[in-house]
Amino acid sequence: MSAKILDGKWVRDQILADLRPRVEKLAARRPPGLAVVLVGHDPGSEIYVRNKVKACADLGIYSEKITPEDTISTGDLLGIVEGLNQRREIDGILVQMPLPKHIDSRRILLAIHPGKDVDGFHPTNLGNLVVGIPGPRACTPAGIMELLRRYEIGVEGKNAVVVGRSDIVGKPMALLLLHQNATVTICHSKTRDLAGECRRADILVAAMGRPAFIQADAIQPGATVIDVGMNRLPEGKVIGDVDPEAVRAKAGAFTPVPGGVGPLTVAMLMTNTVAAAERNLCSA
């Protein structure tokens, strides 16, 4: 029996369909507003931003793209962020990463008001996640939880292994699984017997950014494998963090690359933006 493919585009379309009536209700007063700051001309970042702006247009969310040159100083970029913090019609602020090396990325992220942090990266929002207070969640992990829910893949009581400990994916992913009563292990570059730890996983999330790093010996037969990796090989092919032949042969269900986790990230950004607008308009 072949592994089930978990189609991120199908889940994305469901999420966006659920958002449409919420956006229409808000638009009676004003549409939700998202500001995207894109510094410089990184090709990958430009593609991501274009996808985010298109998703806003399709949903009826007001979007504004701000494109300072890559020579901008940290101070001037902080000024742009502070200006957006003050604008009531802007519910969400997204500063596209990575920023040029001379810019203090941490200062920029900390400057975004936590209520407008639709990426879910601000320490206040990460702290709220730890203790279970509602608020913006990091988009990729939140999208993965939606994927598991909509495919009716149970989390409670399962052994979940997250490979990668970034603030953007690994740590929030582990916390979201923990809140759903999974038994969670976080693995990383210093983990002894990584393959052995991964083999214990009923749910395996690979998020370390190394092409085809997870091989067949690290996959429990029948496991659900979530591949967060998007690695472009020299010949131009995009591959995940899990060996594609191994995952098809051994997993019970898996996310393909591309077409798995990627579409969910933009959908959850839209979700966070709409939720921020609802909070703002309810408190107005």
Task: Indicate which residues carry an active-site annotation.
Answer: 52, 96, 119
Q: Using the CB atoms, write b or e for 152-173: b if 16+ within 10 Å.
A: ebebeebbbbbbbbbebbbbbb
Helix, strand, or coil (residue 191): coil
Distance, CA of 112 to CA of 69 (rounded, Å): 20
Distance, CA of 1 to CA of 172 (rounded, Å): 33
Q: Name the residue among 257, 182, 264 with its Cα closest to residue 223.
A: 182
What angle separates helix 139-150 from helix 8-27, to the nearest 10 degrees? 110
**Positive/negative CA dihedral, 24, 94, 118, 112:** negative
What would the DSSP string read from start to end of 36-52? EE--S--HHHHHHHHHH
Q: Name the residue among 5, 76, 40, 1 with its Cα closest to residue 259.
A: 5
